Amino acid sequence: MEPDGDAARLGLGRAAQTLPPRLLLLPLLPLLLGRGLRVVAAASSSGAAAEDSSAMEELATEKEAEESHRQDSVSLLTFILLLTLTILTIWLFKHRRVRFLHETGLAMIYGLIVGVILRYGTPATSGHDKSLSCTQEDRAFSTLLVNVSGKFFEYTLKGEISPGKINSVEQNDMLRKVTFDPEVFFNILLPPIIFHAGYSLKKRHFFRNLGSILAYAFLGTAVSCFIIGNLMYGVVKLMKIVGQLSDKFYYTDCLFFGAIISATDPVTVLAIFNELHADVDLYALLFGESVLNDAVAIVLSSSIVAYQPAGLNTHAFDAAAFFKSVGIFLGIFSGSFTMGAVTGVVTALVTKFTKLHCFPLLETALFFLMSWSTFLLAEACGFTGVVAVLFCGITQAHYTYNNLSVESRSRTKQLFEVLHFLAENFIFSYMGLALFTFQKHVFSPVFIIGAFVAIFLGRAAHVYPLSFFLNLGRRHKIGWNFQHMMMFSGLRGAMAFALAIRDTASYARQMMFTTTLLIVFFTVWIVGGGTTPMLSWLNIRVGVDPDQDPPPNNDSFQVLQGDGPDSAGGNRTKQESAWLFRLWYSFDHNYLKPILTHSGPPLTTTLPAWCGLLARCLTSPQVYDNQEPLREEDSDFILTEGDLTLTYGDSTVTANGSSGSHTASTSLEGSRRTKSSSEEVLERDLGMGDQKVSSRGTRLVFPLEDNA
Amino acid sequence: MEPDGDAARLGLGRAAQTLPPRLLLLPLLPLLLGRGLRVVAAASSSGAAAEDSSAMEELATEKEAEESHRQDSVSLLTFILLLTLTILTIWLFKHRRVRFLHETGLAMIYGLIVGVILRYGTPATSGHDKSLSCTQEDRAFSTLLVNVSGKFFEYTLKGEISPGKINSVEQNDMLRKVTFDPEVFFNILLPPIIFHAGYSLKKRHFFRNLGSILAYAFLGTAVSCFIIGNLMYGVVKLMKIVGQLSDKFYYTDCLFFGAIISATDPVTVLAIFNELHADVDLYALLFGESVLNDAVAIVLSSSIVAYQPAGLNTHAFDAAAFFKSVGIFLGIFSGSFTMGAVTGVVTALVTKFTKLHCFPLLETALFFLMSWSTFLLAEACGFTGVVAVLFCGITQAHYTYNNLSVESRSRTKQLFEVLHFLAENFIFSYMGLALFTFQKHVFSPVFIIGAFVAIFLGRAAHVYPLSFFLNLGRRHKIGWNFQHMMMFSGLRGAMAFALAIRDTASYARQMMFTTTLLIVFFTVWIVGGGTTPMLSWLNIRVGVDPDQDPPPNNDSFQVLQGDGPDSAGGNRTKQESAWLFRLWYSFDHNYLKPILTHSGPPLTTTLPAWCGLLARCLTSPQVYDNQEPLREEDSDFILTEGDLTLTYGDSTVTANGSSGSHTASTSLEGSRRTKSSSEEVLERDLGMGDQKVSSRGTRLVFPLEDNA
């Protein structure tokens, strides 16, 4: 019985100008599948020759639309069920403390399985005979009005199709349905992930390592991109000689590949770090690098595209174009950064100077809208929305968060946490699916092997020399074990995939996409499974209280020390950090915090006397009540971080590892974590009989004495 | 400086088959604007004659795409800023306790203002010369391949255009951009609103009045639809005679209008009821009716479309078609109901039998996905997703909610609350905007006046006779003041708008849309502003503790009594409710609750002995620990409701009034509301000098003695 189908028929008949009403009951589909889904009304009934009766025609069109709508629902349901399955299995894994396979790896496996089923299990409903050619003048218009026996139909341009592909398009409707619009990744799935990363940044350790993080993210990514690009150009030349290359592959394509594959995404590693409470500085370095190099990779890849010299298709080196693209890089990056920071500051001011916190729902909604508008604003101004959203998230966490009501704090956290979780698992299960359902794969063994070697070398050339130079300036040296761990954790994930799928039109891009997909699979599974053994093998301490500084006298940790016993003093931050950081810190503490939040010293004390009136206006009355003494230590950061983690229960499930989930054990056991948490973790891990950890338990070095 | 534009150019040049990369940085746009936005790449540069250089061509196309993308961002930003403005003003109103204008009315006003600016303030960039005609055989295909000097471009069918409209389409790009796809309402904005309504239902009072609610929602809506339809047919006939009608308007069109305009949406009224703690039974009646009649109206309107007899365009009465559409109505409704309930039950079982509650994030994600899959499942099976989602929400609240962890309870509540709030305010501000930006308005004064009269009469014919018949069977009579209030609160809102905008292709539908829009404006503003005076004028008590039964001996309330002092007994529910309800209640309490949740009596005691094994499997161990005595009163409902409101702070802002926001005063004052809350409310209202209430304060009758 198809009651609704009948219901919709006549409405549609009269309403051919708008969309078929049956379609309109499909919610959130545009959200996930974007344009990709709606592309082609199903062809099931269009094989017949042209009928004369317009009624029959309408009926056929409706049936098509209805069928298409149903297929859309089914394909989206596939994803939902996939995610549901993933969630249930994740729960099982967490329940049984299985650590060798992370949820993202799991999502990919399920995606692969469903992909295989879709690929080989569904009949190939080839969509022959539903397109017709109509030769036209020499320009493609965006809208086409087609006169069909007196009726006008409006068509919109979808894109160009290479002549060879005309017959292969739409070979399998179901495959086509599940292979959806790449823009969805950038427009819908990435922003919440990136915002969440920024919003739940562990600020203290992030800022303490800011210099190194920036170096890794900017210099390192650029180095890695350049090295991979050049190595791949060699590989491509080789392929040309061997005769493996069947189409054009320019130098800029190689550089582009370098850019998209340089964005690391150690989701798995960080999740395991979180669970095991691994060293917080290493965590900060890895996390900070991966968040920022996502942004760098986006901007870098568009700059490389822009680098292509003005005379089309020459693809040779051109100094002017090179400097132009460097300029573009800097322009876009700083513009996006500013935009994100400004929106964050505006939100902070609004939440500070209204009493919006009496109405948490309004506050949350405002917060959400402002964060979203960052993205749109950046896009409208020609900057990069994703980058803007990242810095907006950081600013929101640093300032606005303090102005929110308690309820809004947990509400915003949880909202973005859920969005992030869903988006991330969706991307990973989609990746699994794409390996089989994507219909334009170009598998080139030489290129793939070359790429694996290149990313290995690129990562090595990025981590080790940079660490060497950074160690020259750092008080807390980045030890060899940290460097090896960073080398090992250079796995590729969502961002590489999103950048690769963005454009799969040319032969070169298709080859890149396939290779990227395989690299992501390989690194996620291998590195994900190898993290725990690697940690113990490299003697990286686990079970660390993140608010605690590294133990001063423990010989097994050569890391982060370098300045001996004096580092146990009360005012570490000042000593540890570079002057730039100190400058920023005092500026932030003395001026920005009091202006933008209810905390910090009153502006009347920090601003010069002639600003008295302004200072009084901007300082909130609360400040005078709970005026913090100007402690020398970074109490400010600690406090804020304490706040951040306060509202967080168990969040090891946030795969990006960005949330304050070092309280996992706390919430599970219902007690505030104490300084002896390392023993607890040890006990827990051994007690649970987790074979993975306990088998190597002897090699895991725990700081068994309480360093407090 | 437009760095990104340059960056995107060449990538696009090579990638004409996929989408222009610039577009892909626009996130969440598909979410809100759906297909509507992407329809036409801007025409700014297409006026020139066809150039020969393909490079120039590509450049022009990119520029267009980029320009279009920017316009998209700007138009979405407009909405975001509109919502932000609304939120800030709502805060101001709440802060100053202004009650005459509800937030939804406010959103509409802002929408109107922006609409005026867009309409008259922006230059009419008429999109001439960008479409070209291409006469073709007698069938419209879904995909068109167009050969442009050797290159193939793919076009997709957008819809039919009536020949007269060809030149008026795209008159103003900006207007067109903000007037987006009607499907968005059904697919994206309505589901969270409806789910939230179901999920936050105040079950006790809802179930106590279930019979009346069902009668109002089903019978009442049908009666109202039929009466309005017939009256409007008279109006249309009159218009034909007078010569005001310039196109066809069938009887089925009139009935369709009756169906779409019969869905009441007393958002404003309920929000004010919440704030004032007005009578809970009246609240339950109004709320229950409005939630269910949304569902009824959706199904009714599609049934009416299906009613049109098989022979096209006769539009005369046909018994077979009539019974067919009744069958369709019943089929769709029961199918959707079942689907929603089943998904809810499955979720309950999953959350009960896994220990997912240790990981709130997983739990929340699962909950969200399962609720969403209801919609898709219903759509895939040909039922109505919105209806399914409503009953899914009710089931989830009744069973699954009890299995969730404390964190997930608040998380899911808050998630859907935020989604609901954003969606609702978006719809209302969009309504304001649509009055000026929608380009196919048909203002017909006769029709509009006729419609106002018809909905008034339809509402009257729905409320008064039905109440009379219901009172014959009810112990607690529905008093005259309640009936008048129900009559008064019959305002139209989001659902009427969504149904009307679903199809605006024909002349008749355009006239309906315009009229619906005006009716919504009028009723939201007038009724919204008049609720507080009306309440006092009708002597409806405010400041009621919802968990408290109506006072037994208070002469000012003739309502809900009828059975005198004996109603003060402990086992009221049994006496109050009909046998059907009792039957359901005991079935639910004895079997469903124990099976689906951790509460209720153990199944081993309620099931017959031969089901022993099954009973032991299904009963959760917790039940034996906290086994509730089988109290005769509806403790179960009270308890559950207590749970529901527990996690809720101030939620008067949820405009649908569906949340447990009678605790608003509590959260504000930080103390648990006591039995004397009515006095508190009185004090608060009078003390604040709210001129609206205090001026009529003498007429507000409060139950000043504590009835506990």
pLDDT in tens, A171-210: 556 666 666 666 777 777 888 888 888 888 777 778 778 8
Q: Is B11 on the interface with A (CB under 8 A)?
A: yes
Give B571-594 pLDDT, tens digit per residue: 444 444 566 677 777 888 778 888
Residue among B10, B166, B354 minimizing CB distance to A308: B10
Residue among A15, A91, A373 minimizing CB distance to B354: A91
Between A389 and A675, the higher pLDDT residue = A389
Residue from B142, B178, B180 whose CB has the most chain A CBs within 10 Å, to mutate: B142
Q: How confident is the model at residue B146 (pLDDT cuts 50, 70, 90)?
A: low
Reply yes or no on whether the pLDDT at A3 is more than 50: no
Cβ distance of A306 and B9 shorter than 8 Å: yes
Cβ distance of B368 and A418 shorter than 8 Å: yes
Cβ distance of B135 and A147 shorter than 8 Å: yes
Instruction: Please report the pLDDT score of residue B46 as a whole number.
Output: 36
Instruction: Give dist(CA A317, CA A340) in Å, integer.
Output: 34
* CB contact residues (below 8 A), chain B span 289-308, against chain A: 302-303, 305-306, 308
Between B522 and A2, the higher pLDDT residue = B522
Cβ-Cβ contacts under 8 Å, B653 against chain A = 359, 361-362
| Cβ contacts from A onto B, under 8 A | 559
Instruction: Please report the pLDDT score of residue A452 as a whole number.
Output: 92
Cβ-Cβ contacts under 8 Å, B354 against chain A = 88, 91
Q: What is the mean pLDDT of residues A356-385?
A: 86
Counts of helices then strands in chain B (DSSP H, E):
32, 3
A351, closest residue in chain B (CA to CA): B88
Count of all residues that appear for chain A in the document:
708
Instruction: Give dist(CA B503, CA B512) in Å, integer.
Output: 10
Q: Is B86 on the interface with A (CB under 8 A)?
A: no
Backbone CA torsion sign across A275, A278, A280, A281:
negative
Residue from B155, B409, B501 whose CB has the most chain A CBs within 10 Å, to mutate: B155
Between the ranges A11-20, A466-475, A594-603, B134-143, where is the mean pLDDT highest? A466-475
Reply yes or no on whether the pLDDT at A566 is more than 50: no
Instruction: List the one residue out of B159, B174, B213 whose CA is nearest residue B79.
Output: B174
Q: How confident is the model at residue A15 (pLDDT cuts 50, 70, 90)?
A: very low
End-to-end CA distance of chain A: 71
Instruction: List the one residue out of B498, B450, B516 whose CA is nearest residue B257.
Output: B516
Q: Residue A603: CB partners within 8 Å, gap ≥ 6?
A: A591, A594, A595, A611, A614, A615, A616, A618, A619
Instruction: Please report the pLDDT score of residue A178 as a whole number.
Output: 66
Cβ distance of A15 and B80 shorter than 8 Å: no
Q: What is the mean pLDDT of residues A632-656?
A: 34
Give B18-55 pLDDT, tens digit per residue: 333 333 223 333 333 333 333 223 333 333 333 334 44
Least confident of A386-390, A533-537, A678-682, B347-351: A678-682
Cβ-Cβ contacts under 8 Å, B312 against chain A = 10, 13, 55
SS3 call for A135: strand
Instruction: List the one residue out of B209, B253, B130, B132 whose CA is nearest residue B509.
Output: B253
Instruction: Please report the pLDDT score of residue A317 as a whole number.
Output: 58
Cβ-Cβ contacts under 8 Å, B1 against chain A = 331, 382
Give A284-299 pLDDT, tens digit per residue: 888 888 888 888 888 8
Residue from A162, A361, A409 whose CB has the most chain B CBs within 10 Å, to mutate: A361
Instruction: Please report the pLDDT score of residue B696 as a whole number.
Output: 31
Least confident of A303-312, A536-545, A642-651: A642-651
B388, closest residue in chain A (CA to CA): A25
Cβ distance of B190 and A17 shorter than 8 Å: no
Q: How confident is the model at residue A410 (pLDDT cuts 50, 70, 90)?
A: confident
- Give the dihedral of Cα atoms A582, A199, B80, B653; nearest 10 deg: -120
Least confident of A60-64, A298-302, A443-447: A60-64
Residue from A98, A144, A189 whose CB has the most chain B CBs within 10 Å, to mutate: A144
Q: How confident is the model at residue B290 (pLDDT cuts 50, 70, 90)?
A: confident
Q: Is A156 on the interface with B (CB under 8 A)?
A: yes
Residue from A110, A154, A329, A504 whose CB has the most chain B CBs within 10 Å, to mutate: A154
Q: How confident is the model at residue A166 (pLDDT cuts 50, 70, 90)?
A: very low
Tokens of A600: 């910090």
Q: How confident is the model at residue B453 (pLDDT cuts 50, 70, 90)?
A: very high
Please report, rounded to a whole number, the percentage of residues in chain A having pLDDT higher than 70.
62
Instruction: Please report the pLDDT score of residue A392 as a whole number.
Output: 92
Instruction: Give dist(CA A531, CA A109) in Å, integer.
Output: 19
DSSP type of residue A160: E
Cβ-Cβ contacts under 8 Å, B13 against chain A = 312
Residue among B18, B27, B361 minimizing CB distance to A654: B361
Sheet holding A143-148: strands in order across? Answer: A131-136, B143-148, B151-161, A151-161, A143-148, B131-136
Cβ-Cβ contacts under 8 Å, B360 against chain A = 649-650
Q: What is the mean pLDDT of residues A605-622?
A: 71
Residue from B24, B63, B415 whose CB has the most chain A CBs within 10 Å, to mutate: B24
Instruction: Please report the pLDDT score of residue A174 as a whole number.
Output: 62
Cβ distance of B27 and A385 shorter than 8 Å: yes
Q: Is B27 on the interface with A (CB under 8 A)?
A: yes
CA distance A118 to chain B (A): 18
Cβ distance of B80 and A188 shorter than 8 Å: no
Please report, rounded to a whole number, the percentage of residues in chain B having pLDDT higher than 90.
6
Q: How confident is the model at residue B228 (pLDDT cuts 50, 70, 90)?
A: very high
Cβ distance of B146 and A133 shorter than 8 Å: yes
Give A651-695 pLDDT, tens digit per residue: 333 333 333 333 333 333 333 333 333 334 333 433 333 333 333
Instruction: Please report the pLDDT score of residue B155 as a whole number.
Output: 59
pTM for the model stands at 0.73
Residue among B134, B302, B359 minimizing CB distance to A4: B302
Between B121 and A466, the higher pLDDT residue = A466
Mean pLDDT for all residues in chain A: 69
CA distance A385 to chain B (A): 6
Between A488 and B157, the higher pLDDT residue = A488
Reply yes or no on whether the pLDDT at A461 is more than 70: yes
Residue A221 · residue A261 · CB < 8 Å: no
- Residue found under tokens 């079982």: B349
Instruction: Please report the pLDDT score of residue B227 as a whole number.
Output: 92
Give A62-96 pLDDT, tens digit per residue: 666 677 777 777 878 888 888 888 888 888 887 77
Cβ distance of A376 and B26 shorter than 8 Å: yes
Instruction: Please report the pLDDT score of residue B340 as a whole number.
Output: 92
Between B349 and A583, the higher pLDDT residue = B349
Cβ distance of B190 and A385 shorter than 8 Å: no
Backbone CA torsion sign across A647, A652, A654, A660:
positive
Cβ-Cβ contacts under 8 Å, B184 against chain A = 30
Cβ distance of B159 and A19 shorter than 8 Å: yes
Reply yes or no on whether the pLDDT at A696 is more than 80: no
Q: Is A1 on the interface with B (CB under 8 A)?
A: yes
Reply yes or no on whether the pLDDT at A519 is more than 50: yes
Least confident of A299-313, A387-401, B82-96, B157-171: B157-171
Residue A439 · residue A178 · CB < 8 Å: no
Instruction: Please report the pLDDT score of residue B231 as a whole number.
Output: 92
* CB contact residues (below 8 A), chain B span 428-467, against chain A: none
Give all strands (DSSP E) within A383-518, no chain letters. Answer: none
Please report, rounded to a whole number, the percentage of residues in chain B having pLDDT higher than 70.
62
Q: Is B313 on the interface with A (CB under 8 A)?
A: no
Least confident of A80-89, A224-233, A310-319, B280-289: A310-319
Between the ranges A41-55, A389-403, A615-629, B115-129, where is the mean pLDDT highest? A389-403
